[in-house]
Structure 1
Amino acid sequence: MNLNNKKVFIAPHTPRTTMFKSELKNSCKDIHILGFIDKIKEDEGIYKLNDIVSKEYDYILILSQNHFDSIYKDYKKLLPAKKLIKVDIKNNKYLFFNYVDILKENIKKIPVKIKFFIFEKLVKYFDKKDRKKIVFLNKSFISTNNKALYVYCIENKLDVMLLIDNEEQYKILKKNNLPVARLNSLSSFFYLASAKMVIQDQGNSNYLLPFLSVKQKTIQIWHGIPLKRMNLLVGHVYDYFVGTSKYVNDTSLSAVIQAKEYTDYGYPRNDLLLKDHSKLDLLFCDEELYELSEKEKTIVYMPTHRESSSGIGQNKNLVPIDFKRLNKKMKELDTYFIVKFHPFVMQFYEDIKNSDEYSNIKFHSIQGDIYPLLKYADILITDYSSIYFDFLLLDKPIIFFDYDYEEYSSNMNGFVYDYDTCAPGKKVQNEDGLYEQIEEVLKGKDTFKNERETVLDKFFTYKDENSSSRIMKRLNNE
């Protein structure tokens, strides 16, 4: 789409759209970005929808992969549809859709709308019945907390069903004779309508929740303690939210997730860090790497996803590591380096993944569950990812490879928690510093033990393997 010399607004205001603004400025000649539109946030350069009606502009670019439909519906009431542009990210590129494209997309959704009509009727029908089923709702992929609690329920012979639109994971579950159905199929609507409880650990399938009855309970167990700032998840108030401590709920997640009751029972996935694993616990885990980590010294590297790693004209050398040098160093240290990248990043390292040249560098599947393997890792290397909070339960060294701290923290408008005090580990900004610290740790030097314990006590009420048990005990009392 040609945006040169165009006057545009961007909506809503999020870390992703902040980065989108920067990339537009770098790639589009003389584009005039007038500001952001946001329903909730207030700041300089951020406007409410009513403020835009009388302003002169060419387009409003809407980038919201989870909430576009509701935003578009609100905007279309006040603004010309021809000026509303949907922005999506596919294959690491921004795609732009005008009102004709959006109309065609909506026409394709008509069969789905018919299913939703049937869904509403099913919910009313089951309101007269005794609901017992526990349904796990997953969009795009099965995240770690949902998987761990789902497995716990199966092993404790509870009546469960998992809904997913990831075909690869669906086939794995079917192959293991586990209760699963395709999301948005008629059968999935039947299971949702008959559910006593609907459990999520993400916010990207909230579009189904308004169809549920007030007699059904909704539970959000989320997917990590946030270090970076997040917007309020609007559209649904959950019956229960599960966090890791009252401190975390009060200081961050209650401002992101709306719920009637906030609990501190802990994350089901963290049970896998502390317990003996069953066969089902290893679902979606790379079992070859799991066995390797049991026997050998291993380092796990899990950087967070950067909004700048998906977009226009980006430098594709996304991680400042020379992997040939890294492999040589790992061979010297008799250690394996296990990498788990975000899908947007992993696509640029397929050649390394498929090469025999990198004997001591291993890549975990991008949508797989690395938590069982983490139990055996000797070191975690990360940056701003919430995984490091969970890793504190193991009381093992963490190295923070924060090579882009200034840029990242600026794009995120700072962090929820003070990074210096709440990230207990050595912080390094370049490859030389990284290798130096790895060698120090492997020699037994660990100077952050007390700091890890301080952060752990604040961010976790419980430090055991019983999170799933606590959650289900509370929910079964309903």
Structure 2
Amino acid sequence: MSERFSQFSGKSVYVAPANPAGRALAQHLREDNVKVVAMVDNLKQGRDIINHAEQANGDIQVIVAEGPFQAEICRGLVKKGFRKEAILCHRGNQKLTPFRLSLADLIKDMAEQALRFSIRTLCRILPAKKAVFYAEEFVDTNLLLAWHYYAGMHPDDAELLGINLKGQAMDGDLAVRIQSGWRAYWVLLRARVIVIDHEYTSLLFSEVRLHKPVVQLWHGLPYKSLAGNAHFPNICDTAFVSSSRWFNEHRFPHIFRAEEYLDYGYPRCDALLQPKHQRNWLNSISEEVFDSFTKNSQGIWVYMPTYRDSGDNSYLLNFDALESLCQQYDKTLIFKFHPFISRKFRDAMGLKGDADTLQAIPGYTRLFLFPSARNIYPWLADAEVLITDYSSVALDFLVLDKPIVYYQYDKEAYRHVRGEPMIKDSDFIAGPLVTTETALIATLRELTEGKDAFKYERDALIEKFAIRRQPSLPDITAYIRAVA
């Protein structure tokens, strides 16, 4: 038995946070005969996760895993009602130490309270001006397209704000039109309505959203469990928008707080419902490049896997076999990875040059990497086959009534980290489920030869979930414009 955990042998504890480091610590504790009641996390939700002291079984100690944000996590737990005396910090090979608020922490808390008061006051006294489309670190496609359409209809009533953007590639003068820095904060304080498509926890935004109408576009119908914002009791947005009436009735109200849930659809999915000349190619690879590219083969396949929170994003792919199959059937396979891991993939494959262009993978003529920060949906609309795993893109793609291959080679490991999914597999999988490289190649071959046996399942999911099959942006724009 480890000396540092011996004092808890046979006792119950909570462990924070619910990330790989926290779960590894929980496993070590269990091995030392410590009962881990649940994980504690300020953001994530799941079957074995709690978010507030009110959910805890009595005054049980919380052990916080070592990490760069350990102090911030501890302070967050205190704000969620956990007694600071009940919080212990794991220090690697050292013994567990009690969490103590330092003088710097106390000063920081006082400064935060003063800043929140100032924000509340300014929100009350400043005149409300425009519809503000807001993002932090990365401007995702739903928000970008919603802003672009709205600004085209109401050019004097739209601002696009990007806080702490991480060098994201943008079309033409788009980067110039994104407000940032102190001017962006000033615009946010005077917003008439705020539109977002992610959840943000920065101090400024967290306070401002309590005093302004907020429209949450989110970014997909989830298979995997989501944290949402329901565990923040003060949050209640004006509207939550998705592409499914069923999800709006049975899933989203449990994880996102809003006054109403609207099935207007996702802006990114409009391209899937439109002919090529009507699609918005904003921040995509251009229509001209698409036309030139598609002339060189008889069709494209797209592989879009989700991000692995475990940190293991080494996808199981036989590139030689995929290249051979594409050559045999005159197809092109495009890889579109999550921005978090696209750089690692580029390094592993030896890709050089501009990361913001469509690039052939070295050594192959039919395999290409799509830039991670770009909008692939105008291209996806013409894909013959989608290959994915647990990503919400599978539910988006249903409206095209084309084959979807679910390549889930690491399902148990994925569920171990993410927990139980939000929907049953039978409500997600509407195509061949494969778990090996060999099965993936064989399935693609069968589909190319016309052996698609899943049309009924695709139609059934669209019907059950009441997935919208009309463009979203006219209704979204009208709603935002009407918000007082």
Within 1, Cα distance between the matches of 2:459 and 2:82?
A: 53
Aligned residue identity for 1:387: V
Check 1:456–1:212 CA distance in 2 against 1; reply closer, same or farther (3 A cut). Answer: same
Please report how far the alpha carbon of residue 53 of structure 1 lies from its aligned counterpart in structure 2 after TM superposition.
8.3
- Give me the whole-angstrom Cα distance separating, in 1, the residues matched to 2:217 and 2:3: 41
Who is 1:157 aligned against?
A: 154
Aligned positions of 1:363-442 closer than 5 A: 363-442=369-448
CA contact (8 A) 2:304 2:337 kept: yes
Q: Using the TM superposition, give the Cα deviation of residue 173 of structure 1 relative to its aligned residue in structure 2, in angstroms.
A: 6.2
Give 1:255 deviation, angstroms. 0.9
Q: Distance between the aligned counterparts of 1:34 and 1:102, measured in 2?
A: 28
Structure 1 pair 209/260, CA: closer, same or farther in 2 (3 Å)?
farther
Amino acid at match of 2:476: I
Q: Determine helix, strand or coil for the equivalent of 2:482.
A: coil
* Counterpart check, 1:259 vs 2:261: no
Partner of 1:450: 456
Rounded to whole Å, the distance in 2 between the matches of 1:417 and 1:319 is: 24
Q: Given the superposition, is the C-alpha separation of residues 293 and 110 from structure 1 closer, same or farther in structure 2, using an over 3 Å criterion?
A: farther
2:289 is equivalent to residue 285 of structure 1? no
Match of 2:247 in 1: 248
Structure 2: segments with no counterpart, 5+ residues: 352-360
Counterpart-to-counterpart distance in 1, 2:425 and 2:64: 35
Contact 2:29 2:35 in 1 (8 A): no
CA drift of 1:344 comes to: 4.4
Which digits, 9 at most, give the CA deviation of each residue in 1:326-376, with x for residues without a partner? Answer: 223323332221112234443442232515213222112223222122112
Aligned-partner SS, 1:172: coil
> 1:82: how far off?
7.8
Q: What is the deviation of 1:72?
A: 3.6
Cα gap change, 1:124 to 1:25, in 2 (>3 Å): same
**Matched AA of 2:178:** V
Change (3 A) 1:283 1:74: same
Counterpart of 1:93 in structure 2 is: none
Residue 46 to residue 220, structure 1, CA distance change in 2 (3 Å): closer
- 1:155 deviates by 2.2
Please state how far the C-alpha of 1:458 moved relative to its aligned partner: 2.4
43, 65, 73: which one aligns with 1:61? 65
Distance of aligned partners of 1:433 and 1:74 in 2 relative to their CA distance in 1, 3 Å threshold:
same
Please give the secondary structure, in 2, of the residue aligned with 1:34: strand
- Please tell me whether the aligned partners of residues 301 and 333 of structure 2 are also in contact (alpha carbons under 8 angstroms): yes
| Secondary structure at the counterpart of residue 365 of structure 2 | coil
How big is the shift at 1:427? 0.9
C-alpha distance in 1 between matches for 2:130 and 2:279 = 20
Q: Larger deviation: 445-454 or 216-225?
A: 445-454
Kindly tell me the number of residue pairs found equivalent between the two proteins.
451
Q: 1:438 offset after TM fit, Å?
A: 0.8
Residue 79 of structure 2 aligns to a residue in which SS?
helix
CA RMSD of aligned residues (A): 4.2
Equivalent runs, 1:44-55 vs 2, <5 Å = 49=53
When structure 1 is superposed on structure 2, of 432-441 and 366-375 the one drifting more is 366-375
Q: Aligned pair in 2 of structure 1 residues 246, 141: CA closer, same or farther (>3 Å)?
A: same
Look up the equivalent residue of 1:204 and give its one-letter code: Y
Query: Counterpart of 1:144?
Result: 141
Contact 2:52 2:81 in 1 (8 A): no
Deviations 1:142-175 (A, max 9, x none): 1121111111112223321112121423x73683
Which stretch of structure 1 is more off in the superposition, 237-246 or 115-124? 115-124
Q: Secondary structure at the match of 1:163?
A: strand
Q: Alpha carbons of 1:71 and 1:293: their partners in 2 closer, same or farther (altered >3 Å)?
A: farther
What residue in structure 2 maps to residue 337 of structure 1? 333
Q: Which residue does 1:272 correspond to in 2?
A: 271
> Would you say the 8 A contact 2:224–2:390 is kept in 1?
yes
Q: Is the 8 A contact 2:265 2:468 kept in 1?
A: yes
Q: TM-score, normalised by structure 2?
A: 0.78
2:23 alignment partner in structure 1: 21
- Partner residue in 2 for 1:468: 473
Q: Secondary structure at the match of 1:138?
A: strand
Shift of 1:469: 0.6
| Residue type at the aligned position of 2:396 | D
CA contact (8 A) 2:141 2:268 kept: yes
TM-score by length of 1: 0.79
Which secondary structure does the structure 1 equivalent of 2:402 belong to? coil
Paired residue type of 2:479: R
CA contact 1:134–1:195 (8 Å) conserved in 2: yes
- Deviation string, structure 1 residues 11-55 (Cα, Å, up to 9, x no partner): 25x5x46x8414774899969673435489897897974868865
Identical positions, percent: 24
How far residue 453 of structure 1 moved from its aligned partner, in angstroms, is 1.4
Listed one character per residue, the Cα deviations across residues 53-110 of structure 1 (whole Å, up to 9, x for unaligned) are 86567x4238899x948724426861249834699xxxxxxxxx99799987998999
Deviation of the 1:196 alpha carbon: 1.1
Match of 1:124 in 2: 124
For 1:133, the equivalent position in structure 2 comes to 130
Looking at structure 1, the residues matched to 272 and 280 of structure 2 have their Cα atoms a distance apart, in angstroms, of 11
Gaps in structure 1 of 5+ consecutive residues: 88-96
